[in-house]
Amino acid sequence: MSVIDTIKEQIDNNDILLYMKGTPRFPQCGFSSRASEAVMGCGERFAFVNILENPEIRAELPKYANWPTFPQLWVKGELIGGCDIICEMAANGELAELIKEASAGSEEQSAE
């Protein structure tokens, strides 16, 4: 499987996915720390990929996403944005709404 196929599979299989440097418990950069805190603040489970442990994904995802930096938040297969966008959405309440919608949708799907 190619790196792009792996990325597509990760995005398709996780309704809420954060590509970041480090992990939510141990972020390895300030931007990833702020972004993961904002997503965790929404109170829903989410998947993450530590790009520092996945150099191929770190190299290929910016080209695939047409977004040059990390972190990257993907919800329901759509790129939401990076740290500034995530934090801005968290501040105005949009992020919690989006995350809760995505999480509720995935619960409904898995219940069927």
The two tokens of residue 87 are: 């934090």
42 assigned binding-site residue = no
Residue 87 counted as an annotated binding residue: no
Residue whose tokens read 């995935």: 106
* CA–CA distance, 49 with 71 (Å, rounded to integer): 10
* 34 annotated as a binding-site residue: no
Q: Which H or E element spans position 73?
A: strand 72-75
21 is in an annotated binding site: yes
Beta bridge partners of 18: 48, 73
Give binding residues as ranges: 21, 29, 58, 70, 83-84
Give binding residues for [2Fe-2S] cluster as ranges: 29
Give binding residues for glutathione as ranges: 21, 58, 70, 83-84
